[in-house]
Amino acid sequence: PYGWPHRLDQGGGRLNNNFTHKLAIVQNIVSGTGCGEVLAAMGETRNDLSSVPVAHKIHDFRNYFKEALTPVAAAQAEWAAVDSDWSYTVLARLGDPTAPIAEAVSATFRHSALNFGKHGDYVAIAGEKGVLHIDGAYTQGAIYLRTEQEQWEPLTIPDQIHAALPPEPDHSQRNWDQLAREFVADIRGEADADYPTFRDGWIHQQVIDIARAGLGWQAIEREIGK
């Protein structure tokens, strides 16, 4: 049913609700090498969902697909226009702002919530000596690395990382549990928070605006107010 995911002015769209997670993940992956700053970006979006039926509002988003209208009910309902993006391709360069741009890491983000291609959603991170490829709409899929060898090497997440996370089988709920754990610890002053800051959100919004504009490569402002 029609709701906030279909309206940009209410925070809808896949860039707002999918891309930011994956950009933060890529930044976390490469931050240990000093390459976590987003330097430039480009991209495009598509909206292949021009309108949807209007029905009751869904408060619990976990029930969103469970409460989808039947074809008969949808045909009899009022329909509203959709202005949010439902697929995107974003290219980003990440690195040390003081280093030459040629030393930057390149990241490709491909996602579609409607028209699925031959290859599914993925993120690819290309560096000087290889490429890290991660499958899945939220990078929850298989992980592969290719360097000088001819074959892709499958990778697994180290056991110590799994052991440090909440014991929740559903990956979405586990992520929320981990966020709550870090947030409470931060408030108590027990640990340094690793979740995104307001500055991170400001930079992510720049990348989103660049992708929606589709104007080619654009540099990212890194200091607020300058």
pLDDT in tens, 54-92: 988 777 777 777 788 888 988 999 999 999 999 999 999
Burial per residue of 74-101, b for 16 or more beta-carbon CB atoms within 10 angstroms, e otherwise:
eeeeeeeebebbbbbebbbbbbeeeeee
- Lowest average pLDDT, out of 32-36, 43-47, 114-118, 157-161, goes to 32-36
- How distant is the alpha carbon of residue 1 from its chain centre? 23
Give the pLDDT score at 222.
Answer: 87
Give the pLDDT score at 65.
Answer: 75
In single-letter form, the type of residue at position 118 comes to K
Percent of the chain with pLDDT over 90: 60
Give the pLDDT score at 193.
Answer: 67
Give the pLDDT score at 226.
Answer: 64
DSSP secondary structure of 115-168: S--SS--EEEEE-SS-EEEEESTTS-S-EEEESSSSSPEEE---HHHHHHS-S-
In single-letter form, the type of residue at position 193 comes to A
Closest to 22 in 3D by CA, of 207, 185, 188: 207
Give the pLDDT score at 33.
Answer: 65
- How distant is the alpha carbon of residue 173 from its chain centre? 16
Give me the chain's average pLDDT, please: 90
DSSP state of 15: I
pTM above 0.95, yes or no: no
Closest to 151 in 3D by CA, of 170, 128, 131: 131
Cα within 13 Å of Cα(179), Cβ side? 10
pLDDT digits (tens, 9 = 90+) for 131-179: 999 999 999 999 999 998 889 999 999 999 989 999 999 888 998 999 8
